[in-house]
Chains A and B, each alone.
Chain A
Amino acid sequence: QSVLTQPPSASGTPGQRVTVSCSGISSNIGSNTVNWYQQLPGTAPKLLIHTNNERPSGVPDRFSGSRSGTSASLAISGLQSEDEADYYCAAWDDSLKGWVFGGGTKLTVL
């Protein structure tokens, strides 16, 4: 049981816009910034979005993040086949005094 809650799966067709939600509580998302990671099959996770909505250099602007209250979301526009991956949200938790992750969302491009 992960501390942050994500839907286990999501899907879309090429060119579509897809969103992935991440729900937490006041001690994690409600108090700290949220980061998103993309894990392609068989590879290590890669930083996709940091500090709620910042894209590292090299990440396409099709990816965007937002945070409101105790929830966050990742949006992918212009969906492409290479976006098929697992997506994880993460945040620091002040009560647990550690990093917490969502359970991951498997994105399928139909």
Chain B
Amino acid sequence: QVQLQDSGPGLVKPSETLSLTCTVSGGSVTSGSYFWSWIRQPPGKGLEWIGYASYSGSTNYNPSLKSRVTISVDTSKNQFSLKLNSVTAADTAVYYCVRIKSGYDYLGGYYYYYMDVWGKGTTVTVPS
């Protein structure tokens, strides 16, 4: 059973770079049909997708964060990571690392994607 463990500093100063790592156990980041993603949740608010990366290097980011985000996969360590630069207090949130499963339904003729495994979350605070 695949598990994700996110880790990183809980406090980041304004204008600096937030760096988080997610370690994958019970499976490999090179498994086909999966993307590796980050989601965040500000205090008392809903979920916001940050972006995803595949082990082959393809990436896709939330347009609202694209200029500040980098997500990468390290196959040698079976990890993936998030870097968010120039942080402000608005970036204060719980950050979750997430696995996205993808597939194609041949009967229905459509692609499907869903976030099937979540890490426990890391609280990151950026003081104002």
Contact = CB atoms under 8 A, between A and B. Distances in A.
B63 A51 contact: no
Given A88-B47, A98-B49, A33 B60 contact: no
Interface residues of B, number: 23
Contacts of B48: 101
Contacts of A43: 120
Which of A50, A51, A99 gathers most chain B CB within 10 Å?
A99
Contacts of A103: 46
B56 interface: no
A110 interface: no
B63 A44 contact: no
Given A44-B121, A96-B63, A98-B63, A33 B46 contact: no
A63 interface: no
A17 to B, nearest CB: 24
Interface string A13-50: 00000000000000000001101010000011111001
Given A101-B46, A102-B46, A37 B113 contact: no
Contacts of B39: 45
A44 B118 contact: yes
B106 to A, nearest CB: 13
A44 B120 CA distance: 5
A60 to B, nearest CB: 17
Interface string B102-122: 000100001111111011110
Which of A33, A51, A88, A98 gathers most chain B CB within 10 Å?
A98
Interface of B: 39, 46-49, 51, 60-63, 96, 105, 110-116, 118-121
Interface of A: 2, 32-33, 35, 37, 43-47, 50-51, 56, 88, 90, 92, 96-104
